């Protein structure tokens, strides 16, 4: 392979700015085909992004001889199915997060790609974002000493507009997403913490549906432990008041602590005995771009991508453990 020629299955909103343009903006990478079941929308996307081919059938895209790598950007209920099809065609796979609806589906995807001899990458792009790499650099350099614990807080109010429109998003349909907003958002957090501290080896939690607005859990409390000995806890509430809205990851060491946001554009705050330092975020317009570059480099044998099926599956295992028995 001298160039990566991508096909996208599911060219929806996430591919407009976040993930689609990187596939043709990274060197030696091209977007040559897209697929969406609605032909009008598929054609429109292809026209606006100057993509030469569009399809309404996933298998036609997968088997297009011009396509030598496939990005699956559909909701999680089809990630496993499409990954198995792409692997059977002998092509590398890049899958949106969360990797699948549960850990069992992740294992099927890994097994299929292993047997086919093709790489499997997952869109946990925080492993390559400058802001998140800065946090890891501070921790690795000993800026806060030996890390003791991690505290995750995410309190979001319910968006009444969603209810007024009468159609709930797929992200809170357990059949489609595997759970609620927790599965969609906490997956990013657990994967990034895995990147920084290593795998989580123990996890347990309490889940509930306090608002009764939809079928999935809307509050999750969890405790977890990393293989490195770091301990963590988290609370995710998706029916809080607007005045309580919070999204913070706090990492505490024996010489200081770091606070930062995983989803908003807030600064990194480092506090030690020497005082407070603030690092302003550096987030690219296309947040997938740094990770896509590592994927292209990996496929062209000139680098390594930090987000694989095996690393991503660990976050699905953690979430399964937390909601077990709920």
Residues 18 and 91 in one domain: yes
Q: Confirm whether 319 is domain-assigned.
A: no
The residue count for the chain: 326
Identify the CATH number of the domain in which residue 294 sits: 3.40.50.720
Residues 244 and 190 in one domain: yes
pLDDT at 27: 98
Residue 165 confidence (pLDDT) above 70: no
Range in 64-78, 121-135, 161-175, 269-283 with the lowest mean pLDDT:
161-175
Q: Is 262:126 a contact under the CB 8 Å cutoff?
A: yes
Residues 173 and 260 in one domain: yes
Residues 149 and 275 in one domain: yes
Q: Is 283:277 a contact under the CB 8 Å cutoff?
A: no
* pLDDT (average), residues 199-213: 96
Q: Confirm whether 313 is domain-assigned.
A: no
Please give the residue range of the domain that contains residue 263: 130-283
pLDDT at 167: 76
* pLDDT (average), residues 170-186: 95
Number of domains in the chain: 2
The whole-model pTM stands at 0.96
Q: Confirm whether 51 is domain-assigned.
A: yes
Q: Is 254:146 a contact under the CB 8 Å cutoff?
A: yes
Q: Confirm whether 214 is domain-assigned.
A: yes
Q: Confirm whether 80 is domain-assigned.
A: yes
Residues 33 and 161 in one domain: no
Residue 264 confidence (pLDDT) above 90: no
For residue 239, with 0-12 CB atoms within 10 Å meaning exposed, 13-18 middle and 19 or more buried, which class applies?
middle
Residues 143 and 74 in one domain: no
pLDDT at 266: 85
**How far from 127 is each of 47, 122, 181, 285, 306, CA to CA, in Å?**
31, 11, 21, 16, 7
Q: Confirm whether 258 is domain-assigned.
A: yes
Residues 109 and 156 in one domain: no
Q: Confirm whether 158 is domain-assigned.
A: yes
In whole angstroms, give the CA distance from residue 158 to residue 12.
24
pLDDT interval class at 233 (50, 70, 90): very high
Chain mean pLDDT for the chain: 96
Residues 117 and 165 in one domain: no
Residues 15 and 88 in one domain: yes
Residues 215 and 291 in one domain: no
In whole angstroms, give the CA distance from residue 325 to residue 308.
28
pLDDT at 326: 60
Q: Confirm whether 116 is domain-assigned.
A: yes
Residues 255 and 146 in one domain: yes
DSSP 8-state symbol, 124: -
pLDDT at 283: 86
Identify the CATH number of the domain in which residue 257 sits: 3.30.360.10
Q: What digits encode the pLDDT tens for the residues 235-257?
A: 999 999 999 999 999 999 999 99
Residues 93 and 56 in one domain: yes
Instruction: Give start and end residues of each alpha helix (H) in 117-214.
Output: 130-140, 160-165, 174-177, 181-197
Q: Does the N-terminal peptide bond of residue 98 adopt cis geometry, omega within 30 degrees of 0? A: yes
């Amino acid at each position: 392979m001298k160039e990566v020629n991508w096909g996208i299955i599911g060219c929806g909103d996430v591919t407009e700015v976040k993930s689609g343009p990187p596939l043709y903006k990274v060197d030696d990478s091209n977007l040559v085909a897209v697929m969406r079941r609605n032909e009008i929308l598929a054609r429109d996307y292809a026209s606006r992004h100057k993509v030469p081919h569009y399809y309404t059938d996933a298998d036609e895209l997968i088997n297009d001889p011009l396509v030598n790598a496939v990005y699956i950007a559909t909701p999680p209920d089809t990630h496993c199915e499409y990954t198995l099809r792409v692997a059977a065609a002998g092509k590398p796979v890049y899958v949106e997060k969360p990797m699948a609806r549960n850990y069992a589906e992740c294992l099927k995807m890994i097994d299929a790609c292993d047997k086919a001899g093709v790489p499997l990458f997952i869109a946990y792009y925080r492993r390559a974002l400058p802001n998140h790499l800065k946090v890891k650099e501070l921790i690795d350099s000993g800026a806060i000493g030996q890390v003791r614990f991690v505290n995750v807080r995410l309190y979001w109010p319910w968006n009444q507009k969603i209810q007024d429109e009468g159609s709930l998003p797929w992200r809170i349909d357990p059949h489609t997403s595997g759970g609620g907003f927790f599965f969609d958002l906490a997956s990013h957090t657990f994967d990034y913490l895995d990147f920084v501290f290593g795998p989580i080896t123990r996890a347990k939690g309490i889940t509930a549906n306090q608002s009764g607005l939809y079928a999935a859990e809307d509050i999750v409390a969890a405790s977890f432990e990393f293989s490195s000995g770091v301990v963590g806890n988290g609370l995710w509430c998706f029916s809080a008041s607007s005045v309580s809205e919070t999204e913070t990851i706090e990492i505490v060491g024996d010489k200081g602590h770091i606070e930062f946001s995983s989803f908003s554009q807030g600064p990194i705050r480092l506090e030690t005995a020497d005082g407070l330092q603030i690092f302003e975020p550096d987030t690219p317009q296309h947040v997938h771009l740094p990770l896509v570059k590592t994927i292209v480099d990996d496929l062209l044998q000139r680098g390594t991508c930090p987000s694989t099926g095996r690393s991503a599956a660990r976050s699905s295992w953690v979430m399964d453990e937390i909601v077990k028995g709920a």
